[in-house]
Amino acid sequence: MRILYVTTVGCTMSFFKAFIRELLEQGHQVDLAANYEEEAIPECFAQWGCRIYALSCTRSPLSARNLHTVRQLKRLALKNQYDIIHCHTPIAAACTRLACASLRKKGPLVLYTAHGLHFYKGAPLQNWLLYYPVEWICSFWTDALITINHEDLTLAERHLHAKHTFYVPGVGIDTAHFLNASPNRLQLRNELAIPEKAVLLLSVGELNENKNQSLVIRALAETGRRDIFYALAGTGPCKEALQTLAVSLGIETQVRFLGYRTDTAALYKTADLFVHPSYREGLPVAVIEAMAAGLPCLCSRIRGNTDLIDSNGGAFFDPHCQESFIGALYQLLSADTASMSRHNAQAALAYDVQKINASMLQLYTQMINGREG
């Protein structure tokens, strides 16, 4: 197969390394197209033999550069005669489908993986006014719309018009890497200045408004518990504001800002509970990693989180309500967390990268055979 992967910015390609590597090893040609001026495509792809093409698109949906991207993609599709163009991210996906709209009969099959539709239950009105009409129109030029959570699957089946709609839960993780990590828990806690017997809450992800880490800091202060600590692995635009908030509430000695970490598997094994307070998600990889490591999970009740966690593996809370978070926290502190640990580690196997890659390859084969038939 000749396959083109399309994303808005180059760094997004890193999420598809494992599957693209597998496709290449099976003898398929895989090319990549993205705007890589500001956020580069990982160098490994060129080393593996992928051809890389520059696009003009930007994250701004109203940028005139996106129109130029449509022309760039149409030329690529005609020149290289791809069997499949697999697009990701909303802007790249819209440009790809517009580019291929006039090539429907003899052109490539167009697949779009929606890593969390921008219009969903509770989404801002502007998202419905902007993204829904665009997706509704583009869905007529989509051979396969792939959703990563069940809420989006239902929405796509009811309101969009792709030729086929599939559910493939994300890009997968190496579950064994997280399950089998065996750090020196006491030593790592000492390095982080976390008391051995303290309850350690852990969040992993960018520090931004959507991730909602401020709720956890405020709730922790409200509990008055000095034996509960909160570690945040990641960096982002809200770091200083979160640090200031912890100081203003008098709990700065209980909150650890760890920055970007490459040892998240060890961190999961060192924590007691994983906390994921986001306002919105597609299918959060950090929650899957925590599950694989055997951590009970305390999550906001939103799509994506509810696909992954049930009452056997954690608890939910309203991301807008501190009291809801505190209630869920105390529920887990008094629960059989050993049973939850075993349950989550087993449940995470459904999201192992090998299983996800096999599902995606089967989908590719099904689409190609369907056209040939």
pLDDT averaged over 10-residue windows placed end to end, the chain, 373 residues: 96 95 97 91 95 92 88 96 96 96 89 93 86 94 97 96 96 96 94 96 97 98 97 97 98 97 96 97 97 98 96 97 98 95 98 97 94 64
Q: In the chain, where are the structural domains located?
A: 2-172+353-372, 175-351
Q: Do domains 2-172+353-372 and 175-351 have the same CATH topology?
A: yes
Per-residue model confidence (pLDDT) at position 62: 78
CB atoms within 10 A of CB 33: 27
Per-residue model confidence (pLDDT) at position 372: 62
**What does the DSSP assignment read for 230-260?**
EEEEB--TTHHHHHHHHHHTT-GGGEEEEES
How far is residue 309's CA from residue 163's CA, in Å, rounded to a whole number? 31
> Contacts by 188-193 with C-beta closer than 8 Å and gap 24+?
188/266, 188/267, 188/270, 189/270, 192/231, 192/256, 192/258, 192/270, 193/256
**Amino acid, res. 207:** L
Best CA proximity match to 313, nearest among 336, 288, 296: 296
Q: How close are the terminal C-alpha atoms of the chain, in Å?
A: 16
How far is residue 91's CA from residue 77's CA, in Å, rounded to a whole number? 17
Q: Could you tell me which residues come within 8 angstroms of residue 337 by beta carbon, excluding any fewer than 6 positions away?
A: 272, 273, 296
Residue with tokens 């409200």: 222
Residues 182-235: pLDDT tens digits?
999 999 999 999 999 999 999 999 999 999 999 999 999 999 999 999 999 999
Best CA proximity match to 30, nearest among 96, 114, 79, 86: 86
Per-residue model confidence (pLDDT) at position 305: 97
Write b or e for each residue in 45-82: b if 16 or more Cβ atoms lie within 10 A of its Cβ, otherwise e.
beeeebeebebbbbeeeeeeebeebbebbbebbeeeeb
Angle at 74 between CA 72 and CA 75, to 5 degrees: 65
pTM, two decimal places: 0.93
Per-residue model confidence (pLDDT) at position 373: 55
Q: Could you tell me which residues come within 8 angstroms of residue 15 by beta carbon, excluding any fewer than 6 positions away?
A: 171
Return the CATH number of the domain spanning residue range 175-351. Answer: 3.40.50.2000
Q: Cβ-count burial of 187 within 10 angstroms (0-12 exposed, 13-18 middle, 19+ buried)? A: exposed
CATH class of 2-172+353-372: alpha beta
